[in-house]
Structure 1
Amino acid sequence: MTKNHEINRASTNEQVVAIIQRRLTHYRVPLFERLRDSLAEQNIRLRLVHGEPTEAERSKRDEGQLDWAEKIRNTYVRIGKTTLCWQHLPEDLDQVDLVILTQENSILSNLPWLLRKRQNGPRIAFWGHGANFQSASPRGIKESFKRWTTNRVDWWFAYTDLSTSQIAESGFPASRTTTLNNAIDTVALAKDLESTTTEDIEKLRQDLGLKEGRTGIFIGSLYPQKRLDFLITAAIEIRDRLTDFSLIIVGDGPERQRVAQMASLHPWIHVIGALHGREKAKYLRCSDVILNPGLVGLGILDSFSAGVPLITTEYPFHSPEIAYLRHRTNGIRTQNCPTSYASETVHLLTDPETLRDLRNNLKFCAARYSLYAMNENFASGIYKSLKNS
């Protein structure tokens, strides 16, 4: 823990905001870089304080680095299936104007901030989902505790409209909630998509035996919540109706070997593994629909960037980013069974006009749900929070 000392402010009018992260992931780095610059224009200094990942998280190799961030020590304790965390925060956080915490029940070091009397201390804000959307017991003790903490802060930075609604249901005022529209940097993907040539696409189609207008792609991590059994069952039904249909599965994870075994019985299913950069862009450009019947999260941004409609289901455990999908406007959300999923996919693949309309709408989504827009929302919310202090 750092020694308690007076914060050096660039001027008497400068305000200081601290964002606390349990760990820093690489995909958040561009956001914090932009946010720091945007706040500086308003004479607001950003401090980013982050801890270390768990040993299991280290294996993902997704840590981010920022020279100006403050790295602290985390203490993790495993109790049954739950991992609790205490973050050893700098003592001088008492002197900043706003502290933004992540709403996670497992971060015990949040509790002193939520329980203290804050008349002379910093304002406190939460950044998060507003609920665990994958919880099997939404009315259980864990979610009840989370709803209690929801109302212990001065401001909220909600991931999406779905999060904002959840926070409002817990009794927190909408006037003190900022909807961020959570996003990642898709500029690199957009450039890779633009640089993919017609020759690249034709060669890939020829190599894999793909037919234009008849190709679906799954792109993401391969783990149980993605419902890959469901995907392959539905794909077989699609193939029964469209005999030239092909499915590409791009990604890696604990389910890869099992998926590869299932796909080996069907030569029109291609399990590729994880792809990045121009290779990922090339496969997206070859595809007509993105098929993901399971958990949808930030991967929906691939659909927006590539202009390839996403088809998912009424799965009850989507992440908050499912709020970006507007049924039959920028994607499709079917009943929660493989036959309905297959029928909707066949209908879309055989209806070029509807497919074209969806593609056109996706162009607007790419601009709305971008890192640039998220940064603007975040900076504006921080400014309003400080102004209302």
Structure 2
Amino acid sequence: MERHIALIPDRFALYRYPVFRLISEYRRSGSEVVIFADPREDPSRVRLAPTEFCSMDPDEGGIRWQKIRSFYFRNICFWQTGLQRLAFSRKFRVIVYWGEAHRVSTWLSATIAKSFGKKVVFWTHGIYGNEGRLKKIIRTCFYRLADTILLYSEHGRQELVSAGIPAERLHVINNSLDVSAQLEVLNSIDDAYVEKVKRGFCEAPERLLVFIGRLEPQKCLHLLIHAVARLRKRGSPVKALLIGDGIERSALSQLAMQLGVENDILFYGECYDDAVIVPLLAVSDICVSPGEVGLTAMHALVCGTPVISHDDFPNQMPEFEAIKVGKSGAFYRRGDVEDLVKRISTCLADIDSGRITPESCREQILSSYTPEFQRSVFYRAIDPLLA
């Protein structure tokens, strides 16, 4: 059996290109990494990497990428083609699957792979902690198939340990964006430009809040609009810049008018260009994500902007762990507008006092949420499996 590695993500999202590019450079002990992913848009509408990376040489920025197909039922992927062939193939010693228990093809392929002596790895959120008893049992059985598990958070690791998965199999790999490119944009703008951009949205002494992401129900942005209205009534004027689009835009606009803050809620629209996004995040005082926070946290923190999100961690996305209370943001009591108002006020005070700084916001991202960090964890987890 050869010693190559097959990596099968849920999708080849564009934001993962930097880490997949670094992982593709893996050539230890004659091993290579080949990525198997569907290039077509899926129900998540996450932006995907261009298929041109399939045909480019890895030494010129390309990635060893084989196209497969994913099939969905009610927006849930249950089957990926070609996984059974990988399980039988003598080319791959290690197969890294996307670790979701509803993927029937993964159950079958991983079982076959293990019977042929291959090493099985899951890259996954793990157990959230909000599962019902039956779902937790099924997921725990699924994760027992893996020789090694790469997890997006320490919370997920602790939940799996509590479920009886041996701790030595678990590696926290976190998540990442293209931090180098974002810092390059950030370093190209000066204080005068930052002030000019900010004053395009608000006038002193108004403060600027921001949200970036899709305007969808799970983001709970109605709470942010209520918070803006309450802060203004109490003599703390703020404006909220919403970068993104989605099915909630009309309802949010109507709510702003009902509360009399239609001039304080600024709908910027959809934007994926970091040359535009980074300055907008950098000029904002706080990024507020009342629902699940996800990649929004990393995007804001690397720009030096603190983040506020809810404190119900079993119902959070794993990136909530990048937020450090009193250092890079805060958590409010989920669903409680008054507590959200309190946390915004406290966070603004911490910024004014110098307790929260751009440097303190970036610290966790630069240490543990970069493509380079993910590559190091990947190597550390995979190397023993090739021995």
Query: TM-score, normalized by length of structure 2?
Result: 0.86
The residue number in structure 2 matching 1:366 is: 365
Q: Distance in 2 between matches of 1:55 and 1:214?
A: 38
Residue 358 of structure 2 aligns to which amino acid in structure 1? R
Cα distance in 2 for partners of 1:54, 1:143 equals 30
1:304-327 deviation line (CA, Å, top 9, x unaligned): 211111112213521112122222
2:151 to 139, 151, 158: 158
* Structure 2 residues without counterparts, runs of 5 or longer: 55-63
How far apart, in 2, do the equivalents of 1:117 and 1:286 lie?
A: 50
Equivalent residue in structure 2 for 1:62, among 48, 51, 66: 48
Shift of 1:357: 3.4
Q: Quote the residue 2:97 is aligned against.
A: 101
Matches within 5 A, 1:241-280: 241-264=234-257, 265-266=260-261, 267-275=263-271, 276-280=273-277
Q: What does 1:297-308 align with in structure 2 at a 5 Å threshold?
A: 297-308=294-305
Greater mean deviation of Cα atoms: 231-240 or 64-73:
64-73
Within the alignment, does 1:35 sit opposite 2:23 as a pair?
yes
* AA at the equivalent of 2:341: A
Aligned to 1:281: 278
Q: Contact between 2:83 and 2:106, CA under 8 Å: does it hold in 1?
A: no
1:12 is aligned to none
Give the AA of the match of 1:342. Answer: V
Give the 3-state SS of the residue equivalent to 2:382 in structure 1.
Answer: helix
| Residue in structure 1 matching 2:13, options 6, 19, 25 | 25
Deviations along 1:339-384, whole A, 9 cap, x unmatched? 0110121123234455543533223213112111111111221113
User: Does structure 1 retain, via aligned residues, the 8 Å contact 2:301–2:362?
Assistant: yes
* 215 and 77 in structure 1: CA distance in 2 versus 1, 3 angstrom threshold: closer
Residue 321 of structure 2 is aligned to residue 334 of structure 1 = no
Q: Distance in 1 between matches of 2:204 and 2:187?
A: 21
- Measured after TM superposition, the shift of residue 120 of structure 1 is 3.9
2:83 to 89, 92, 102: 89
Kindly indicate whether the alpha-carbon contact (under 8 Å) linking 2:17 and 2:49 is maintained by their aligned counterparts in 1. Answer: no
Look up the equivalent residue of 2:366 and give its one-letter code.
Answer: A
Residue 234 of structure 1: SS of its match in structure 2? helix
CA distance in 1, matches of 2:204, 2:50: 40
**Aligned-partner Cα distance in 1 for 2:115–2:202:** 67
Residue in 1 aligned with 2:60? none
Contact 2:326 2:355 (C-alpha < 8 Å) held by counterparts: no
State percent identity of aligned pairs: 21
Specify which of 101, 121, 128 is matched with residue 125 of structure 1: 121
1:325 to 323, 326, 348: 323
Q: Alignment partner of 1:357: what SS?
A: coil
CA drift of 1:220 comes to: 1.6
| 1:50 aligned residue | 37
Of 152-161 and 259-268, more deviation after overlay is shown by 259-268
Q: What is the number of equivalent residue pairs in this alignment? A: 368
* Mapped partners of 1:334, 1:362: distance in 2: 18
Counterpart residue number, 2:59? none
Matched, 1:223 2:219: no
Tell me, in whole angstroms, the C-alpha distance in 2 between the residues paired with 1:56 and 1:127.
20
The 8 Å contact of residues 282 and 300 in structure 2, kept in 1 or not, is answered as no
SS at match of 2:295: coil
Q: CA deviation at 1:83?
A: 5.0
In the alignment, the residues of structure 1 paired with residue 42 and residue 345 of structure 2 have an alpha-carbon distance, to the nearest angstrom, of 44
- Checking the alignment, whether the CA contact within 8 Å between 1:288 and 1:349 is kept in structure 2 is yes
Change (3 A) 1:62 1:46: closer
Q: Counterpart amino acid of 1:237?
A: R
CA distance in 2: counterparts of 1:54 and 1:246, whole angstroms: 34
CA separation of 1:119 and 1:206: change in aligned 2, threshold 3 A: closer
* Counterpart Cα distance in 1 of 2:167 and 2:124: 15
Q: 1:288 to 1:116 in 2, by over 3 A?
A: same
Contact kept? 1:212, 1:288, Cα under 8 Å:
no
Unmatched tracts of structure 1, length 5 or more: 1-6, 10-14
